[in-house]
Amino acid sequence: MTRRHRHFLDASGLVCPLPVLRARKVLQAMPEGAMLCVTVTDAKSPQDFEAFCNEAGHRLESVTPMTDVIEIVILRGPTPAEEKEIPL
């Protein structure tokens, strides 16, 4: 079994859309299949991250509410293929 790369982002205290924007930036620098654990306090963040992951091709692995924070775990999806130029 291969060991998965793990990255952590503390987005506590930030409100929509900042947690998703910060996570997006971190995810861009991560390899495919790596795991990002995001800690947030904004109650709307789980819905924002679900929509973001569906659109960007990442996998929302888990959303775990805790006492003061919510932990969101994302698996980095494949890098989208560059758009090919259509010949005229």
pLDDT of residue 82: 46
Average pLDDT of the chain to the nearest whole number: 88
Task: Please state the domain extents for the chain.
Answer: 6-75
User: How do residues 10-45 score in pLDDT, each as one tens digit?
Assistant: 999 999 899 999 999 999 999 999 999 999 999 999
Residues 6-75, CATH architecture = 2-Layer Sandwich (3.30)
Tell me the three-class secondary structure of the chain, residue by residue: CCCCCEEEEEECCCCCCHHHHHHHHHHHCCCCCCEEEEEECCCCHHHHHHHHHHHHCCEEEEEEECCCCEEEEEECCCCCCCCCCCCC
Known active-site residue 16: yes
Q: What pTM does this model have?
A: 0.84
Catalytically annotated residue among 14, 15, 16, 73: 16
